[in-house]
Chains A and B, each alone.
Chain A
């Protein structure tokens, strides 16, 4: 991963810490942060990414003052500018440092299509319905290991979704891109599903079981299970086939060996969401 990306993250974490919150990081970077110290097979497969997906959670934006402060940090303090055509959702600075804002649907806020408006004409979020439980089992990650030479990094923290929430986000993202026949993006999301599935341990699984038993009847969980069933329940289903088609997937292995790896991932994923 690019060191500049970690510095971008540290700036964000430092500014957010001043208003008493920790940034919640999703997407490829969130997966990297969650599993950077994991020893499972697949760790070396964590995808490199160049953007920061920042999830604003309900508790972070409930107070008007906090919303204003977040908008101020992003647009004034850290000097992000809006990206043309993606106003107030996607930001950029220093030619290529991207920041995308996501959020679950939160009652009481103006929404328009896929937008939720936190601060009018300043800060919006891309509605991510499947992130409705994102605040549960969040993991806190220190930035010290990532930026050992940066003195401030020892006190800086970000949060990342639990493996179950990461899987839910990635399964929905895969499903969306697959239905839109976006081959590249669906492949990237399927890859992330594989990586998360293989890097999780027993304690993650047990935590996931409790989470799923709390929300077993929710629409999001039902939909997640249907995606697993229709697209990931056998190695020949499109989810795993996308991974198999990727040139970087264990290039030294035979097709049979690759299928065995995917079968292991399939068994884990199916069991994870079997309630």
Chain B
């Protein structure tokens, strides 16, 4: 459910108890201000047996950081130009997240959300801060799918090349040259959302990531949601030599990529006696095993090789290629994400990978 401006106001009016001790004394919508400006509403608030104050309000039905920043700048401008110094500049949204709250605090803007949180400062008479209520309108949160599946490749590419890309086409080519397939339209949509989240700057060339660490954090959240949703079926085999197996797979054009702790071991970051790979097509692998083209035997109890089938583009994107004597491995960002969810040991390995990913961003950016 996504509210319109009108519905947001209506919801606020219908649930006065949620904001106690604050009460709405009067509310006027679409109010013109001097100098040709216009705000979504002017609301008079009062506190029972206490002071009252007027607020000029901008409504943000979709509270992306970019929207919030825009509204905050707008209100700050009105405050200085519209001659309503006594009016408290205020943003009302279905839910104000931590990042959005920080933006508003920086600009000195009060806010209320429909989930029952608020931060209000009216001259020296009223100061209310109430946070911690959960988002009652998760549908209004910014789209998270940009951090999953094919869309996530844009963020991964931006982390790989922190110096940025001069055009959208360059991003498309960069991704498609790395064992993946993305369209210009997807890249464009994802960049728009990342821009709204204030994670990148695409206002001028180059398009680059402003906050690599935040971007990595959002990728992790998206990854967590996607792995929780789809559990991949894993097949366990016994093999006497993983190296020999990978050579045979390479010769038979069976695509695979080492993952998890096994990949971390190859990168010298962990130890394990269990090999783990993703393949594009498990049936092809099983057929090859049945025909003795691959030396593996199914062993559910004591197998030392786990094979999972996946077409997740993140797994294959930028993976190192299998060569005669080198095992194909997922790239650092993918491995970081895998390690983040592989508790309890994984996050320690992820921390080391994170340093490398962000250091690259620092030195390149």
A residues with a Cβ closer than 8 A to B are: 37, 39-40, 43-44, 200-203, 205-206, 264, 267-268, 271
Contact = CB atoms under 8 A, between A and B. Distances in A.
A43 B344 CA distance: 9
B301 A39 contact: no
Can you list the 3 inter-chain pairs with the closest CB atoms, starting with the nearest? A202-B304, A205-B302, A201-B273
B272 A39 contact: yes
Contacts of A43: 344-345
B300 A203 contact: no
B302 A37 contact: no
Contact of B274 (A39, A44, A206, A268): A39
10 contacts: A37-B271, A39-B272, A44-B344, A201-B302, A202-B238, A202-B273, A202-B299, A205-B301, A267-B300, A268-B302
Contacts of A202: 238, 273, 299, 302-304
Nearest to A201: B273
Contacts of B345: 39, 43
Contacts, number: 34
A201 B274 CA distance: 8
B261 interface: yes
B261 A39 contact: yes
Nearest to A44: B344
Contacts of B271: 37, 39
B272 A268 contact: no
Nearest to B273: A201
Nearest to B342: A39
B308 interface: no
A202 B300 CA distance: 11
B270 interface: yes
Nearest to B238: A202
Determine which residue in B273, B274, B344, B345 has the highest number of CB atoms from chain A within 10 A of its CB, and name it.
B273
A205 to B, nearest CB: 4
Interface string B277-319: 0000000000000000000000111111000000000000000
Contacts of A268: 301-302
Contacts of B272: 39
Given A201-B274, A268-B301, 15 more contacts: A37-B271, A39-B261, A39-B270, A40-B274, A43-B344, A201-B302, A202-B238, A202-B273, A202-B299, A203-B273, A203-B304, A206-B302, A264-B301, A267-B301, A271-B302
Contacts of A39: 261, 270-272, 274, 345
Contacts of A37: 271
A206 B238 CA distance: 11
Contacts of A206: 302
A201 B302 CA distance: 6
A203 B275 CA distance: 13
A233 B261 CA distance: 32
Contacts of A44: 344
A201 B270 contact: no
Nearest to A271: B301
A200 B270 CA distance: 18
A44 B343 CA distance: 10
Contacts of B302: 200-202, 205-206, 268, 271
Contacts of B274: 39-40, 201
A188 to B, nearest CB: 22
B107 to A, nearest CB: 42
